[in-house]
Amino acid sequence: STMSNQSSMQMSEQVQSATLDLRSIVASRKSPGIVILNGLGEVMHLNEAAWTLLSLIRQQAPVSNNGLVPEAMMDLCHELDSKILGRDSVSPHARLEATSLMTTVDGGVLLRALALDGTKDLPSQGRRFLIMLEQISERESMNAAGQERFGLTNREWEVARILTQGLTNKEIGNALGITEPTVKAHIKHIMEKMKCTTRTAIVARLAGS
């Protein structure tokens, strides 16, 4: 049992460091909804922000068998599962992450699922997935000012805003339903307009705006 205690200790440390890392990313925004699911889709942990966003999503999205978790969320976990199982083809250091964008009456909610380390070797009920839910439409007034200030088109603005969530070009493309080269082109224009040379600089300028 020392083994399992040790691994659960490590796991809670990882959850904490993952959560802290995510906290710092979203410190400038409302705290994200955080849900931890096991491989069976059972909720192990849920914060208040997640509860609010889940209630919103549930009004218009199909939920899985347990009635709490939207199917889209389970799909992300399944996607991660298959990434984990096919891990040999993925570089061992690739972040195991899956994202999707859901629309609700109050705007978009970005779901990001991360598989916690060690998940691969555990049976389903022992697996842990950390899912962050973030509303990406609540800073409209401030957003509009930023968008106007930098002269971005609506699409460039969407890309820039999703960029601040730390997503890859491919994930941004998936979230917005556009191709990766299109995302790259948008980012190039955003950099020109915002006079930035890196993605990090874009995020910093937006946070500052």
* Residue 28 binned pLDDT confidence (cut-offs 50, 70, 90): very low
Q: How far apart are CA 175 and CA 125, in angstroms?
A: 29
Please, which pLDDT band fits residue 24 given cuts at 50, 70 and 90?
low
Q: Residue 69's pLDDT is what?
A: 82
CA 201 to chain CA centroid, nearest Å: 20
Residue 189: band (very low, low, confident or very high) from pLDDT cuts 50, 70, 90: very high
> Would you state the pLDDT for residue 147?
77
Q: Quick check: 18 pLDDT over 70?
A: no
In angstroms, rounded to a whole number, what is the distance separating the alpha carbons of residues 176 and 96? 20
pLDDT of amino acid 35: 92
Please state which of the ranges 20-29, 84-93, 137-146 shows the lowest mean pLDDT: 20-29
What value does the mean pLDDT take over residues 24-47? 76
In this prediction, residue 90 carries a pLDDT of 55
pTM summary value: 0.52
Contact 200, 207 (CB under 8 A): no
What tens digit of pLDDT does each residue of 135-148 get?
775 444 445 667 77
